[in-house]
Amino acid sequence: MTSKVAITKFIQNAEEKALKEALDLIGGVRDLNTPEKTVVIKVGVFSHKVANHTSVRFVDGIIRSFSNAPKIVLAESDNYQGTGLERLQIWKELFSERVAPINLSDLKDAQNVTLAGQKMKLSSFLFKPNVLINTHILRTFTRGSILKNLFGCIPIRKKAKFHKTELLSSLLADIYEAIGGIDLSVMDGTHLWRGAGDLRVRMNTLLVGRDAVAVETVGAILAGLKPEKMPVTQEFAKRGLGEANLENIEIVGTPLGSLRKEFKLAAKRLRKKWKEHGGAPSIWAPTIDNLIKDGFFQLPNKRTRKDVARAFEIRGVSTKGNISLITTTLTRRVKKGKLKAAKEPLGWVYWTE
């Protein structure tokens, strides 16, 4: 594993050129681009209704970079937003006889694994000798981007129970070890995104590397995060699955130092946008409305207040110290008939029929 990360800047509509330049900077992918290996591109797409995912142009560039591969598949699993195949329609213009979408929740040829102490199955597409390419966006999200994207490998639709920090870190590292690692990571920095939400600032920056942990680390630093305080990144580093110490990562292409000021200003602009939107409290009501619309409360699910707070955090909306205000918002939705509620032994629960 080479802890080398390429950073390239690009102009709009020149994504493929930027990707080619980045791949050349890390030594190319000749060993991965062969007629014997199927290429699996694990895209990160929580919802097909928002834009916080790798662009069509970059995914097209990845496909074109693997011209010798007999088959290329775009992979995603089911979640409560919809099936993997539904969400993969974002890239449908790229589909062909050689390039096809696959649902990682389809377990016809699955392999048995143990993840975070639980027995599960993972799609056979994820395992070697297939080549696994992991691509996601650059964001200010302490749970990460490239490594967090492995979460979409587990086939179950209801994934929220795995979002607790310690469990999530262990689960992601276990997935990485079970499937034999990530062969190439492509972080789409067309925009810097705020958390897992939809606020963004255009940056036209691309990060590429063979060491997924190193790519995550460099991306986190650009996003204004501290990798040493990111539990997922540190769990991977502790297990020796990649390099999380910037001093041990060789950065090629655009120097990191020249970008730090630019990204610091971008982060400031994001904070300003956040305040202009009223900060967290002002978006709690629309966030709950979006959860209702997306089926988060749909029976047989009955959601507790903690479930709702966790869903907010996943979407990049901090609820720390404000659970009572979320309760107020939920109560208003019940009064308006948008939600049903009942008090059960473990507390209040909310649902839609």
Q: What is the pLDDT of residues 232-259, one digit of tens each?
A: 999 999 999 999 999 999 999 999 998 9
Instruction: Give the model confidence (pLDDT) of 310-350 as tens digits.
Output: 888 777 676 765 666 678 888 889 988 999 999 998 889 99
Percent helix, strand and coil across the chain, each rounded to 5?
A: 40, 25, 35
Q: How far apart are CA 172 and CA 27, in angstroms?
A: 27
pLDDT score of 114 more than 80: yes
Domain spans in the chain, listed from the N-terminal domain onward: 4-268, 279-351
Q: Report pLDDT for 89.
A: 95
Class of domain 279-351: mainly alpha
> What integer pLDDT is reported at residue 11 of this predicted model?
92
Peptide bond between residue 281 and the one before it cis (omega within 30 degrees of 0): no
Neighbours of 188 (CB within 10 A): 25
Reported as a single tens digit per residue, the pLDDT across 115-145 is 999 999 999 999 999 999 999 999 999 999 9
As a dihedral over the C-alpha atoms of residue 177, residue 180, residue 182, residue 184, rounded to 10 degrees, the angle is 160
> Of the ranges 9-13, 27-31, 164-168, 303-307, which one carries the lowest mean pLDDT score?
164-168
pLDDT at 2 over 70: no
Residue-wise pLDDT tens digits, 79-95: 877 899 999 999 999 99
Cβ atoms within 10 Å, residue 89: 13
What is residue 148's DSSP assignment? G
* Percent of the chain at pLDDT exceeding 90: 69
The pLDDT value given to residue 109: 87
- Other Cβ atoms less than 10 A from the Cβ of 56: the count is 14
Q: How far apart are CA 218 and CA 222, in angstroms?
A: 6
Residue type, 270: L
CATH number among 3.90.1200, 1.10.10, 1.25.10, 3.40.50, domain 4-268: 3.40.50
In this prediction, residue 43 has a pLDDT band, given cuts at 50, 70 and 90, of very high
pLDDT at position 235: 96
Which pair of tokens denotes residue 202? 């255009």
What's the pLDDT at 276?
Answer: 65
Question: Is the CB of residue 216 less than 8 Å from the CB of residue 235?
Answer: no
Type of residue found at 346: L
Share of the chain above pLDDT 70, in %: 93
Quote the CA–CA distance of 222 and 43 in Å, as a whole number: 21
Q: Which of 122, 106, 175, 131 is nearest to 34 (CA)?
A: 131
Are the CB atoms for 76 and 84 separated by under 8 Å?
Answer: yes
290, pLDDT greater than 90: no
> pLDDT at residue 165 above 70?
no
Per-residue pLDDT band at 201 (split at 50, 70, 90): very high
In the predicted structure, residue 183 carries a pLDDT above the cut 70: yes
- Which residue would you say has higher pLDDT here, 56 or 167? 56
pTM recorded for the entire structure: 0.82
Please classify residue 312 by burial: count the beta carbons closer than 10 Å to its beta carbon, then call 0-12 exposed, 13-18 middle and 19+ buried.
buried
Reported as a pLDDT band with limits 50, 70 and 90, residue 199 is: confident
Question: What does the DSSP assignment read for 156-205?
Answer: -S--GGG-SHHHHHHHHHHHHHHHT--SEEEEEEEEEE-TTSS-EEEEEE
Confidence category of residue 278, pLDDT binned at 50, 70, 90: low
Tokens matching residue 84: 């993997």
pLDDT confidence of residue 279? 56
> Looking at residues 161-173, what average pLDDT do you find?
84
Which of the 8 DSSP states describes residue 137?
E
